Amino acid sequence: MFPTPQPLLTANTYAYESEPMVKPTGFREYDARWLFGQEINLMGVQALGMGLGTLIAELGRPQEIVTGHDFRSYSASIKYALIAGLMASGCKVHDIGLAVTPMAYFAQFELDVPCVAMVTASHNDNGWTGVKMGANRPLTFGPDEMNRLKEIVLGAAFKQGAGSYVFHPNFPARYIADLTKHARLKRKLKVVVACGNGTAGAFAPQVMEAIGCEVIPLDTELDHTFPKYNPNPEDMEMLHAIRDAVLQHNADLGLGFDGDGDRCGVVDDTGEEIFADKVGVMLARDMSAIHPNARFVVDVKSTGLFATDPVLQAQGAQTEYWKTGHSYMKRRTNESKALAGFEKSGHFFFNAPLGRGYDDGLVSAIAICEMLDRAPGKSMSQLKDALPKTWSSPTMSP
């Protein structure tokens, strides 16, 4: 019988090394995040894996799951503790190694595996860890699943089993090949690719080069100390660094990827950041010109232009405003069979033909470059300035 997790244990003690610690507040609405060592220990992560495996069985899903980890000094050890718990509950685990979060989502389709558990703290400061989970591709957990997972883990109500483990070598090559299988851009774009020393730096530059961009790399070397700023394309410090590089190199645009690669921020050729909801309007204009009467889903923090823009109205575009949160947005975009979903935080969800319904910063970046490719002679700033004038503030948090 695996011990019941404790909410708090003192480090450097017998209890800390022999009992699981899981702080209850780490279970959030649609994922889980903890300060590693202070709020969860490795046995606590193992308990989380056992709880997740138990929940998958309870949901009636096959106990087969993809897992990967982001580039932090402790992420691999956390992933292996999670794997131990998943296997103990009877899961077959497919390990894709070091990855961005959308690579794990892609692996669900590529390997035909129903469930996912990606070890990542996204753009959070060092010290944080977390897991993004799902049992029904391309969706991730919402409040119901997360609340039940919390009950199972904290109550140690685990299902016992005998799982198995498979490692998939060189899996990133399969992900990159899938992203770059489209025709190359006709227009030569000079693009600043900024990764804040996060995991996306291992993949984003070569993807953008493969579609035909001239890439100016900015902080693409992997460094889990994040020496300059956190890799967060909503953070003004990162956006200003991209601005400076765009102006210095006379680039056509700047693209900034967050720590786990599922979001993309945009800076135009004048060095001005374009908030993600405005980028969404620009993409919606481009996409609805190709797909008349297209449906879109946007979160309630987004600009009202999705409902009032005369170009979108003329092209018959229909937009539904929905609850903020990547899990809610992903689910609604999938349920309504919308062409795309846009969240102001930068999570974009593209259904076929552009994507598979999950958020991927590189799919967003490719869509933005293809939009420019279809607008010969026009710059990113001109496309932005063609929108009706509105005002908004950057995301602010305490």
| Catalytic residue ranges | 122
Tell me which DSSP letter residue 258 carries: -
The structure tokens listed for 70 are: 């982001």
Task: Report how far residue 52's alpha carbon sits from residue 157's, in angstroms, rounded to the nearest whole number.
Answer: 11
Task: Report how far residue 153's alpha carbon sits from residue 87's, in angstroms, rounded to the nearest whole number.
Answer: 15
Task: Report how far residue 368's alpha carbon sits from residue 193's, in angstroms, rounded to the nearest whole number.
Answer: 13
- Please say whether the dihedral angle defined by the alpha carbons of residues 228, 229, 231 and 235, taken in this order, is positive or negative: negative
In our burial notation (b when 16+ CB lie closer than 10 A, e otherwise), range 365-396 reads: bbbbbbbbbebeeeebbebbeebeeeeeeeee
Give the pairing of strands 164-167 and 128-134: unpaired
Helix crossing, 101-110 with 361-373: angle to 10°?
Answer: 90
- Asked if 274 contacts 266 with a C-beta cutoff of 8 angstroms, the reply is yes
Biggest CA-to-CA distance, the chain = 68
Tokens 């539904």, residue located: 320
The structure tokens listed for 253 are: 């645009």
> Which residue in 262, 258, 266 sits closest to 124, CA to CA?
258
The structure tokens listed for 256 are: 């900034």
Task: Report how far residue 392's alpha carbon sits from residue 242's, in angstroms, rounded to the nearest whole number.
Answer: 20
DSSP symbols for 186-238:
SS--EEEEE-TTSGGGGTHHHHHHHTT-EEEEES-S--TT-SSS-S-TTSHHH
CA distances from 232 to 198, 205, 242, 391 (A): 9, 17, 12, 22
Rg (CA), the chain: 21
CA distances from 48 to 71, 220, 253, 329 (A): 20, 32, 41, 25
Task: Report how far residue 131's alpha carbon sits from residue 31's, in angstroms, rounded to the nearest whole number.
Answer: 6
Residues present in the chain in total: 398
